[in-house]
């Protein structure tokens, strides 16, 4: 079987461009087999083969695992870079998903232009992925499983082992007595993938010995269907997408067939670095597309919020949690706002001779803009001024005593005009989102 792995990799390398190679090396049996086998191939070495190990810091032995990976790479005379990441546990989707997000982000950042990142995923991993997608209600694209090759960072992500079994890789490791890391979390059947691997698939094989073959055959058909649909929804995306704002035409998106509507939405979200919704959240988006004028629907899920506004869909990362009681004394210096926005004066060396208090909106605030006959509620001004609803909570309100004299740089009262004229400049607001 060891010769089979070498032959497989030689054939795979012969079919792809002579790009630099980089391997995501966890130290487990699968990536160990792939790294060791590649190290025996002159073609891989001439492509600058190197390894990246991600230390998630989630296990007490993670630092020792990183050292193991560096020692093993040294025996192969290959460079190994250890990347330490901070896993954000509050992103939603569980610790497993958060660790995966952190891992892929740091790997993408490390990839050199034109470099190919290799992963040790095999056919059993593919079968597990397809079953997980099925249980989560995925369409053809998800049921197509992991792609063998796709753009990634500044290069490509390549899975050259999808045709080989887990057993084949274990036999390679055992035949050479290669040292491997056994992460105890891989045996935790409380995790969805581990439950499928250790509990469900073995039972399926008892009744259907060809279960993995059948799953992968269905995945290949789903992938072909997804690729055919992709041509259609990419054409629709060109019609619905506004590059200037990054938004989608809500009515046009809703009018699409679901087979086009769902992958188009996911692609648009992923291109913006955001996560895709669940089936229930998708249905909610569809219902809110028909919201009446004046309503400001917002659908939220971990890592993403989607607004329906001005008959378009707008997707953003979640807003920071901001206390409405926040206030700051402002003399005109650059001021970072609680939501990540910024307030400054238009002239870098200017300052206010009368300091102002900066507050956030509570509701019901009113201002009489200079030159206008009537005092107006901010709600009406925001609507008239076409201020996006996701910017309104973080919009800085400038007070002289208890009088509202300016709403960011959008509306200024007569008194506010006098204050800023004495300083020879005006406020400048940079919204966070």
Q: What is the DSSP letter of 197?
A: I
CA 365 to CA 376: how far, in whole Å?
Answer: 9
CATH class assigned to 2-214: alpha beta
CA–CA distance, 418 with 403 (Å, rounded to integer):
14
Residues 216-230: tens digit of each pLDDT: 999 999 999 999 999
Residue pLDDT, tens place only, 325-355: 899 999 999 999 999 999 999 877 788 988 9
Q: What pLDDT digit, counting tens, does each position of 51-108 carry?
A: 999 999 888 889 999 999 999 999 999 999 999 988 876 555 677 778 888 899 899 9
Q: What is the pLDDT of residue 89?
A: 67
CB 312 within 8 A of CB 245: yes
d(CA 221, CA 137): 17
With beta carbons less than 8 A apart as the criterion, state whether 426 and 346 touch. yes
| Position 1 pLDDT exceeds 50 | no
Where are the domains positioned within the chain?
Answer: 2-214, 243-316, 327-430
Element (H, E) at 334: none
Query: Is pLDDT larger for residue 136 or for residue 49?
Result: 49
Main-chain phi, psi angles of 408, to 5 degrees: 50, -130
pLDDT of residue 158: 98
List b or e across 129-163, with b for residues whose CB sees 16 or more CB atoms inside 10 angstroms.
bbbbbeeeebbbbbbbbbebeeebbebbbbbbbbe
Q: List pLDDT tens digits, range 349-406.
A: 788 988 999 999 988 999 999 999 999 999 999 988 889 999 998 999 999 999 999 9
- What letter would DSSP give residue 413? B
Largest CA distance in the chain: 87
Query: Which among 403, 378, 380, 404 has a CA at the least distance from the CA of 393?
Result: 378
Contact status, residue 128 vs residue 201, Cβ threshold 8 Å: yes
Higher confidence at residue 348 or residue 416?
416
Which has more confidence, 94 or 306?
Answer: 306
Task: Please name the helix (run of DSSP H) or strand (run of DSSP E) that holds residue 385, with its range, or none.
Answer: none
Across the range 134-152, mean pLDDT stands at 92
Is pLDDT above 90 for 279? no
What is 243-316's CATH number, 3.30.70.120, 1.20.59.20, 3.40.228.10, 1.10.10.10? 1.20.59.20
Q: Please give the model's pTM, rounded to 2 decimal places.
A: 0.75
Q: For the segment 104-113, what is each residue's pLDDT rounded down to a tens digit?
A: 989 999 999 9
Better pLDDT: 92 or 261: 261
Average pLDDT over residues 304-320: 93
Question: How many whole angstroms separate alpha carbon 366 and alpha carbon 259?
Answer: 47
**Strand 80-84 and strand 50-55: pairing?**
parallel
Average predicted confidence (pLDDT) for the chain? 92
3-state per-residue secondary structure call for 7-42: HHHHHHHHCCCCCCEEEECCCCHHHHHHHHHHHCCH
């Amino acid at each position: 079987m060891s010769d089979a792995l070498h032959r497989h990799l030689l054939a795979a390398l012969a079919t792809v461009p002579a790009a630099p190679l980089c391997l995501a090396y966890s130290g487990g049996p699968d990536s160990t087999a792939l790294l060791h086998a590649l190290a025996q191939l002159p073609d891989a070495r001439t492509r600058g083969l190197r390894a990246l190990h991600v230390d998630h810091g989630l296990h007490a032995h993670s630092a020792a695992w990183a050292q193991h990976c560096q020692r093993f790479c040294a025996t192969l005379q290959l460079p190994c870079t250890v990347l330490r990441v901070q896993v954000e546990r509050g992103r939603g989707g569980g610790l497993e998903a958060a660790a995966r997000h952190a891992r892929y982000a740091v790997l993408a950042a490390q990839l050199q232009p034109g470099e190919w990142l290799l992963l040790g995923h095999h056919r059993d991993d593919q079968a597990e992925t397809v079953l997980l997608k099925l249980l989560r209600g995925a369409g053809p694209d998800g049921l197509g499983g992991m792609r063998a090759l796709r753009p990634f960072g500044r290069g490509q992500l390549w899975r050259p082992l999808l045709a080989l079994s887990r057993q084949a890789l274990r036999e390679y490791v055992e035949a050479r007595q290669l040292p491997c890391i056994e992460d105890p979390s891989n045996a935790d059947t409380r995790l969805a993938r581990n439950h499928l691997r250790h509990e469900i698939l073995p039972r399926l094989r008892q009744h259907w010995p060809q279960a993995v073959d059948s799953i992968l055959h269905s995945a290949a058909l789903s992938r072909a269907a997804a690729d055919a649909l992709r041509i259609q929804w990419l054409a629709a995306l060109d019609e619905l997408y506004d590059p200037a704002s990054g938004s989608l035409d809500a009515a046009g998106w809703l009018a699409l067939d679901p087979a086009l509507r769902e992958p188009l939405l996911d692609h648009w979200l992923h291109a913006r670095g955001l996560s895709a919704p669940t089936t229930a959240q998708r249905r909610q988006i569809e219902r809110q597309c028909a919201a009446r004028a004046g309503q400001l629907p917002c659908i939220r899920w971990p890592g993403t919020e989607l607004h329906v506004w001005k008959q378009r869909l707008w997707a953003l990362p979640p807003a920071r949690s901001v206390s409405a009681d926040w206030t700051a004394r402002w003399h005109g210096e650059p001021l970072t706002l609680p939501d990540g926005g910024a307030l400054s004066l238009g002239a870098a060396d200017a300052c206010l001779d009368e300091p102002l208090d900066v507050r956030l909106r509570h509701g019901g605030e009113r201002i009489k803009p200079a030159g206008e006959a009537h005092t107006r509620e901010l709600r009406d001004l925001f609507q008239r001024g076409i201020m996006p609803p996701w910017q309104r909570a973080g919009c800085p309100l400038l007070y002289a005593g208890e009088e509202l004299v300016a709403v960011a740089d959008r509306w200024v009262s007569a008194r506010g005009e006098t204050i800023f004229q004495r300083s020879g400049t005006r406020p400048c607001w940079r919204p966070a989102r």
